[in-house]
Structure 1
């Protein structure tokens, strides 16, 4: 997976450590909408999205901090907070479901809407039953490999891959992306870049770049605003109809779920 910096879509030890330090240092607080142990987190930057009844008489909370989803549990005495995921006796991560329902699910639905209205290139049949959006950098070797892996479904008419062209990896990524987007036949130009990937990809057309570079920078901004920093970053509809995201090159065993069927 090609990265520009670390992704920000999942909770990290940094967030957990920050919350733990915050709790350790809080003192007596005035009356607030939340119990003191929760209010101290709110005042330090946690945005609470939802609360729910949790096992063991605790109250669960999910929220965001610096764009990352976080979870924590208020004990029954309302004086202590446990930070991090909760596991059932069978090892099931109970927290993931609440984060998905309250945070990542709505975020991904909103992202899908933005992707539909973004500047993308169709790759496959217009009436394909499955649509997948993927952020593609012309120089990204993993984008190239993902397209190769998806080809059987695309050629069979089952999937249309919609490439949201970005230029983040190398100095000539943006000019190449603009050349592809601004071509008379963008899909053909995309395939040209794919076929010639090993030899440097598509030749840059400076006139086309001049007229189309803002379209690529808009896609770059969209990718950044969605909290993504790696290509490929791919959005697809899971079996239950929810929007899922895969960052980086999918593993072979993940492709059937992403493509909506087994390999043709």
Structure 2
């Protein structure tokens, strides 16, 4: 079962499990099964209605897993109150969101990216960038006021997914003596003429090919299917994700001017 099937809409999904060992000693079999399918189980938290619950996540989505009173079944999904409104347990986000942030930011930090902006910038925005993507160049331009004022540092996680030449162009940018300058010059050229920009390498060096593959695996693993795709940590420490480059999302991504 793919990870995307784990969503808050699975309110009625139930899972059998065996064993009564405490979480600290051994996870219930259903939770082990979910972990084997790619879900990350973090720990227990207090849930409304006297239910025992575990917090888990897939990508940047926190999920609640509830143990039913019969002790034989568990449910993954959304709890609804008498008004038909979603009840989101406070303990869930408190438990899971810091783990999500540490996991995703740790993976992004280890990816191959190009820095654009000051190291002292209070906000870091990772952006999956394809050199053939005109919207990536629009996003680069949109970010200039925040980057140049020192408020935001962009970290371009280069990918090559839009066209056969994308990997060759990404490789050329990454292999440049100054990758930041190469990306900036490419972005400016593309904004003037989409057929312009950096010339791709004849072939992708093996080390860069491996890095691009890892970057693309990260992107697809988080169900990000278009570029530019941005990931950042907001003021509350929660991971946020956004795709597209429309001007109306600028303050959401970059913060106030």
Which residue is 2:213 aligned to?
220
Give the alignment of 1:223-242 within 5 angstroms: 223-225=216-218, 227-228=221-222, 229-230=224-225, 231-240=227-236, 242=237
Distance 1:238 1:42, change over 3 A: closer
Matched, 1:244 2:244: no
Structure with more contact order per residue of length (Cα contacts < 8 Å, sep ≥ 6)? 1
User: Quick check: 1:203 aligned with 2:199?
Assistant: yes
Number of the residue aligned with 1:16: 10
Instruction: Give the aligned length.
Output: 242
Q: Structure 2 unaligned runs (5+)?
A: none
Residue 152 (str. 1) matches residue 145 (str. 2): yes
For the residues of structure 2 that align with 1:68 and 1:237, how far apart are their CA atoms? 14
Structure 1 residues not aligned, in runs of 5+: 1-6
CA distance in 1, matches of 2:60, 2:51: 25
TM-score by length of 1: 0.72
**CA deviation profile, 1:6-51 (whole Å, cap 9, x unmatched):** x9578338x939943x44xx7xx5x43269xx94523643464322
Give me the TM-score of the superposition, normalised by structure 2. Answer: 0.74
SS in structure 2 opposite 1:169?
coil
Query: Do the aligned partners of 1:112 and 1:243 also contact (CA within 8 Å) in 2?
Result: no
Going from structure 1 to structure 2, the CA distance change for 1:148 and 1:99 (only over 3 Å counts) comes to farther
Give the 3 Å change call, closer, same or farther, for CA 102–158 of structure 1 in structure 2.
Answer: same
Once the two structures are superposed, the pairs formed by residues 131-210 of structure 1 within 5 Å of their partners are 131-197=124-190, 198-199=194-195, 201-206=197-202, 210=204
Q: Distance in 2 between matches of 1:173 and 1:135?
A: 13
Alignment of 1:75-114 (within 5 A): 75-87=68-80, 91=85, 93-95=87-89, 98-114=91-107
Q: CA deviation at 1:117?
A: 3.8
1:42 equivalent in structure 2: 31
Over the aligned positions, Cα root-mean-square deviation in angstroms equals 3.7
Q: Deviations over 1:137-159 (max 9, x none)?
A: 11233323322322221233322
Shift in alpha-carbon separation, 1:222–1:162, aligned structure 2, 3 A: same
Summarize the Cα distance change of 1:107–1:82 in structure 2 as closer, same or farther, 3 Å threshold. Answer: closer
Question: d(CA) in 2 for partners of 1:174 and 1:182?
Answer: 12
**How much does 1:84 deviate?**
0.9
User: How big is the shift at 1:131?
Assistant: 2.4
Q: How far off its partner does 1:54 sit?
A: 1.2
Shift of 1:68: 7.5
Q: Which moved more, 1:247-256 or 1:177-186?
A: 247-256
Whether the aligned pair in 1 keeps the contact of 2:119 and 2:153 (CA below 8 Å) is yes
The change in CA–CA distance for 1:258 and 1:214 in structure 2 (over 3 A counts) is same
1:179 positional shift: 0.4
Cα distance change of structure 1 residues 117 and 81 upon mapping to structure 2, 3 Å threshold? closer
